[in-house]
Amino acid sequence: MQNTQELLHKFSNLSEKAQINLLEYLETLWEQEKESFSKKKRGALGSWKGKIKISDDFDAPLDDFKEYM
């Protein structure tokens, strides 16, 4: 909350041109945040259904590990 109050105080003491520039910069940051968030967003449940195939012997022991078993 302290940061918000400090930001509003400093913003209100800027010239109108500086306020406009700052608002444009904030809009740019906002768009970057939205893009970053949307890239992290995962698909809905079941969206990969039918796109990935796991072989029938997926759980079978690997020959490379026979001496350890």
pLDDT at 52: 86
pLDDT at 39: 65
Quote the pTM value.
0.49
Structure tokens at 8: 């509003």
- Which helix (H) or strand (E) segment holds residue 19: the answer is helix 16-40
Nearest-angstrom CA–CA distance, 8 and 42: 35
User: Cα 34 from chain centroid?
Assistant: 8
Domain assignments of the chain as residue spans, ordered by start: 1-35
pLDDT at 16: 95
pLDDT at 42: 66
Nearest-angstrom CA–CA distance, 14 and 16: 6
Nearest-angstrom CA–CA distance, 13 and 11: 5
Sites in the chain below the pLDDT cut of 50: none
What DSSP designation does 7 have? Answer: H
